Structure formats: structure tokens, C-alpha cells
Structure 1
Amino acid sequence: MSRASFSARRMQGLSLIELMISLVIGLIILLAVVQVFSASRTAYQLSEGLARVQENSRFAMDTLQREIRMAGHFGCTNDQAHTLESLSTLQSTLDGAANPGLDFMRSIQGYEATGTEPGKTLTLAATPATGGTAYTPALPTAISSALTNRVDGSDIIALRYLMPDGVPITAIGGTIQKPVYTFEAARWSVLRSGVTNPGLFGVADCGSATVFQASAVNATTGTITFDTVKLNGSRTFSNGYMLGQAMLYRAESAVYYVGYDATTKQSSLYRVRFGAAPNGDLVASSPEAMVEGVENLQLLYGQDRSLGARPSGYIDRQGTAKAVQESLPSDIGLAWRRVGVVQVGLLVSSPDPAAARQADSNAALVSMGVTYTAPTDGRMRAVYQTTVALRNRLFGN
């Protein structure tokens, strides 16, 4: 065979059958690659969704546990201990009736969303409704107006306490009724605890505590002056305090709830804080998103067996905020002071769709006896529950 003939045979190329076989093999390989990619993407979405749900739930639980445990903190003894001997040992110059956000005589106050008691079923919408749910007890207008984006069907809790870090009082001027407290000016940052211009404070020793609004604060000289102005009205101090024992604290009042952001289309755990500047008016902060992905909050409260003047130390009553409210109608404040445990249930979802098949498991979502029917939007959802003991209400501490 000549060299020219041999070269011609090599340049003939592939036949049609060979080309079709090659295309089929390539298509099979491509389909396999696509299938592997799709499976990997689904696995990644599930893993990412689960990770975000677990992360957000941990942050939300940590936030609520830390805040709920502080309820009732009024210095070296709690509000429950202060009121054992006499109601006069725990005082607030703030008008809690006129300013429900500053009702420091109730360190903890729950609001149960109508139709969300144990045994009920709650249907969740892809875009939740806001601002329409009724509560028991009724949500005060001042609080309702501040929680503009609250999600329907979710419980609300208000917490009030003195911050854990205080500063010793170094001098006391004025009168018992209208005192002027002096503290070490270098410790002002400790006393204000992150608030730019705080005006709500508490003074406490192991015998009594008083919450008040300062009429004037001088951070340079380290003085806090009390007078009958603004939120104090005509109320004055009835308890005197002694050097070496009394401490000053910033007073904190915050409401926690589930809210919805129409811009991000995301439900979150929110906080609104109530406060006032020295000699200033009551101010509610803008709703502050704490943890995203929280769709629903359910709360149950454990009360002391004894609803009389002295607690027994046994928590054997459990129920909703409505049940607490009805347990002692003659003294609602005492009923809430007998709350020693709060059970928290959170429904948390992933920020993005995780997998379509995840919707199949939503029928099993139950929180504090409430069964959820979730929308089929492909989001990963899970329920997390915990029990929080109010350490400042543990009898004997």
C-alpha cells in the first residue's frame, strides 16, 4: 500500500454510528454529573438550613434565658423577698398604671395570644399577619403601640429588673424623701451599662429597694438627684438608705416578642425597651431585631404552690398567662410575683428554602402543647423548648 493511500484512510474520520455512540456516552456522563450536582445541592441546602435553624435557636434561647433569669433582681435580695415582710420594702416612684412599660412592681408579665393555649392548632401563613391578635391579659395601649410589627398568634413577655452590676453609694445628701446620691464618677460606665443617657435607676440594700426616675444626673461629679418631676409625679421616697450598704443600679424594662419585617420578609425575635432620660418623658425604643428566623413564641408559667404572703418553694402550678392572671384576681401583682419558672417554646425556620421535602415533617411541630401547621414553602423548621428558673425567685436565695 502506498503512503498516499494510507494517509487517505486515516483522514476519513468517524462514522455516523460512532458519532452517535459518542454523543450517547457523553449525554449519560452529563446526566450523571447533573444528578450528582443536584444531590449535592440538596444536601447542602438541608445542611445549611439545619445549621441556620440550630444557630438561630441557640442565640434566641440564650437571649431569653439570660433576660428571664434576671426578672426580680432588686439588689442583694429579690423582689419576692423584699415583699415578704412588708410591701413597703419594695417601692417604685414610677406610676405603673399610667406607664405600663415601667410597672416595676411586676418584674415579669406575660401576655397570652388568643387561641394559642395548649391543645390548640395554629396555622402559619407564608406572610404572617401582624397587629390583630387579642391577648389575655389585654395588652396595654402603650405596649401595643410600641410593638408595631408583632406577629399574630405569638406570646409576649415583659421583664423588669435592676441591672446586675451596680456601684456603691459614697455619699447621701438631700432628704429621705428627696435624696441626692453620690457615687464614684469613674464608674459611671458601669452604672449606665451601655445606655447613652439613662434616667431610670434603682437604689437597694438588703432591706429595701426603690426604683425612680432621676431629675438630674451629673456624670462628671458622680451625682444622681431625685425630685418629684415627670414620671415620678408627686411620689417621693419612703425608705431611707445607709452608706456602706446601699448600691445604685440602672433600671431595665424590656418586652420580647416575635415581629415581622416586611422589607426582608423575615420573622425575628424582637425587643422593645422602655426608658426615659433624666427628667424626660417615657420613651419606647424602636423595635430591635435580636435573632432572625424565629416564627413563633409560646410561654407557660410555673407558680409557687402558695399564693399567700409567703411562698412555699414548691412550683406545682403551670399554665398560660391567662391562668396566672386568674389564679389570684384580688392581687394580680402577687400572682405574678409567685412565678418562679418560665417554659419557653420557639418555632424557628431557615431564612431560605432548604428542600421541598422538608414540608412533609411540619405536621410534627408542637410547642408547649400548640400544634403548628406550617406553609409549604420549603423552609427548614424545628421547635426548641426549655425551662428557665428565675434565679432571683428561687425561694431562700
Structure 2
Amino acid sequence: MLPRHTRRTHAHRQRGLTLIELMISLVLGLIVTGGAISLFIGNREANRTTENLSRMQENSRVAFELMARSLRDAGGNPCGATTVANVLEGSDTTWWSNWADNAIRGYDNNTSSPAVTTGTGAGQRVAGTDTLILMSGDDSGVSIVTHDAPAAQFKVSTTAHGFKDGDILMACDDHLAAIFQTTNASATNVTLVHNTGSSVKPGNCSKGLGYPTLCTALGSGYSFEGNGYIVKLIAEAWFIGYNARGGRSLFRSAPVIDYASPSNLPTVSATEIVDNVTDMQLLYKTRDPANSGGTNDYVTAANITEWSDVVAVNVELTFISNDRISTADGKPTLERKLIHVATLRNRAP
């Protein structure tokens, strides 16, 4: 018999979480998880925004660097000659050979340009955007040793001149520059020929490279001085066009010589330079004839009466991000309008 005061031991029952405790735990877990997800999404969006801004900045550097280089050279040649003869056959019928009109020439918004077609196809100009034609002598070439004008032959300083039959070239010295098409350029000798005839297209209307241009057999006679230069003629058109991916890009068009058959006319090819550029607007600064060394305010192409007076160009390009990113103004992509001003070196005051 157990003692009277002996206590009996009882096993404690196991207890689980109450419903309220479980709900509180779930809520706390959801809050922590939601915070982590929100932080992750925020960081991801910040990274996407930063990445797209960096790409837009890179695109702007490339676009402005290439355009500014062409703008600075527009209308110039290595010799600094201001008088330019042009013996290309039908030089005023194609934009890439018309130096008199197109050393620099801009076209506003919906004004048609001879260099590019406005449309919705790949490589065509976007309606409502400006376009620009620039021409110049290249900055690298070969020195002239002698020039036999009646025979239409140059002797140059090296056989490594890099020129081929059909190349459109510019010869210059201190007094004159002349545009012509080479009819014979061999890598085995130092002779460059600029004869008339149909072996190349468009061809030369005269052997004479003097000024003013006369399209006769001998034309205006002129012999270029030794130590002058011969360079390639650069002609290009800059515009905003549709790319093959359905977006917009900055394009550059230029004539392409058919070296296999130089008797064919050069064709024009458009090259995509930078993507995600949606607009280009241009303003031009001109000399003020009434104020020696002075300039007028920037104006649009429609207000330019004498393109030879243009001394600087204000280029405004609109860039958008590659990815769709929600922005404060409700637009689906980031957008930046950036400006660069380039001065024409050969016309600087």
C-alpha cells in the first residue's frame, strides 16, 4: 500500500501551434519573402536601366564621333585649295559627284533628298527626319611627282597608292583641286591616268583638269605641281532609316565602285551605323557677310540660301533604350536627346 502523501506523476500532453500562431508565422514569412523579392526585382530593374543607359551612351559616342569627323572634313581637301574643278561626266546629275551643290547640303524633315528614298522599307529614310550630304577629299593619299596634262597622266610617289581603275579621285595643290575618275591605275607602276572614254563610268568629260571646267577633249589646261596630293573623293549621306529588325537606326550611304566591271556606274549602298536612333534634327550656322569674321544664328536647312557659307552644324540625335523599361513619363523605353556641334575646319573663321 502506497504511503498516503505519495504524489502521482502525470505525463504532460504534447501541444502544437495554435491557429493564430500559425497565421502570424505565415504572415511574417510572407513579409520577409516579399521584401526579398521586391529587393531582387528592384536591383534587376536598376541593373537593366543602367545597362541600357550605358549602351545609349556608347551609341551616342560612336554616332557623334563618326558624324563629327565627316562634318569637320566637309568641303575640304589636303591642300586647302578653295577652287575645285570637276570633270566627271554628268557631275550635276548624281548627288555623290555634284561637289558644287553637295560639299555640304542638308534637307529638313519631309523635304526630299536625292541621296535617299523616304519610305518604310529597310534602309529607307524615316519621314519627318533630317538628312545630310557631305563631300570631301580623303585625309590620306599619295604625293604628286609630275603631271603631264596633255597626256592625262600623273606620276606619284609610290606604287603602293592603293588606287584602282574606276576610283573617283581628287588631285590638289596650293592653287586648285580637281575631281576626276582614274581610267588606269596599276599597282606595278606609279602612273595614274585620267583619260576620257567609256572604260569607266561615269567617266571624264575632258582631259583638262583646270578651272573653270570645260567638257571638251582638252578642256581647261592645268598641270598640278609636284608635292601636291591625290586622294579618294569621299561622298556620303547621313540619315535615320528603318533597319531590318523593325526599328530605327542611323545610316550612312555612299557610292560603291564595281571594281570587277568599272564600266558600270557606281551603286549607292546604305550602311547601318548605330541602332536605336529614332530622330535627327540639324541646325546650321553661317557666315555673316556684313560682319567680317562674324556668324549668324543657327537656322534650319530651309533657311539656308548659300551652302558655301555654312561653318558649323548642330546635330541633335534621339536615342532610345534597347529594352522596354517603364519610365516616369509613361513611355515604354528610355529616351535621350543629345546634341553635338561640329565646325567645318576649312571654313572656320
Give 1:384 deviation, angstroms: 0.9
Greater helix fraction, Structure 1 or Structure 2 = 1
Which string of whole-angstrom CA distances, capped at 9 and with x for unpartnered residues, describes residues 322-372 of structure 1? 211xx2xxxxxxx11111111111111111122242x35xxxxxxxxxxxx
Task: Classify the secondary structure of the residue corresponding to 1:319.
Answer: coil
Distance 1:104 1:97 in 2: 8
Q: Distance in 1 between matches of 2:118 and 2:184?
A: 28
Measure, in 2, the Cα distance between the counterparts of 1:233 and 1:220.
24
How far 1:314 moved relative to its partner? 2.1
The gaps in structure 2 that reach 5 residues or longer are 1-6, 211-221
Measure, in 2, the Cα distance between the counterparts of 1:209 and 1:180.
16
1:108 maps to 2:104: yes
Q: Report which structure shows greater RCO (CA 8 Å, sep ≥6).
A: 1
> Kindly, what percent of the aligned residue pairs are identical?
26
For 1:35 and 1:145, the matched residues in 2 are separated by 46
Decide whether aligned partners of structure 1 residues 74 and 280 sit closer, same or farther in structure 2, where only a CA change above 3 A counts. farther
Q: Equivalent of 1:301, from 284, 307, 312?
A: 284
Choose from 50, 53, 70 the match for 1:50.
Answer: 53
User: What is the distance in 2 between the residues matched to 1:295 and 1:266?
Assistant: 8
Q: Distance in 2 between matches of 1:210 and 1:303?
A: 25
Greater CA deviation, 232-241 or 246-255?
Answer: 232-241
Give matches, 1:195-210, under 5 Å. 199-210=167-178
Q: CA deviation at 1:13?
A: 5.5
* 8 Å Cα contact 1:53/1:350 also seen in 2: yes
* 1:220-246 deviations in Å (ceiling 9; x for gaps): 223321111331353332432345332
Count of residues paired in the alignment: 323
Amino acid at match of 2:108: E
Whether 2:205 is the aligned partner of 1:234: answer yes
> Residue 187 of structure 1 aligns with which residue?
160
Among residues 139, 144, 160, which one is paired with 2:117 in the alignment?
144
Q: Following the alignment from structure 2 to structure 1, what is the Cα–Cα distance between the partners of residues 103 and 150? A: 24
- How far residue 303 of structure 1 moved from its aligned partner, in angstroms, is 1.5
| Cα distance in structure 2, aligned partners of 1:316 and 1:200 | 35
Which amino acid in structure 1 is aligned with residue 170 of structure 2?
Answer: G
Q: 1:256 to 1:203 in 2, by over 3 A?
A: same
Aligned to 1:388: 342
Note the C-alpha offset of 1:5. Answer: 5.5
Equivalent residue for 2:63?
A: 60
1:257 aligns with 2:231: no
Q: Which runs of 5+ in 1 are unaligned?
A: 83-89, 115-134, 328-334, 361-375
Q: State how far apart, in whole Å, the 2-side matches of 1:198 and 1:33 are.
A: 67
Amino acid at match of 2:24: I
1:127 corresponds to? none
TM-score (structure 2 length as normaliser): 0.82
1:300 Cα deviation from its structure 2 partner: 1.1
1:322 equivalent to 2:293? Answer: no
Do structure 1's residue 39 and structure 2's residue 42 form an aligned pair? yes
Partner of 2:334: helix, strand, or coil? strand
User: Could you tell me which residue of structure 2 aligns to residue 163 of structure 1?
Assistant: 138
Q: Whose Rg is larger?
A: 2
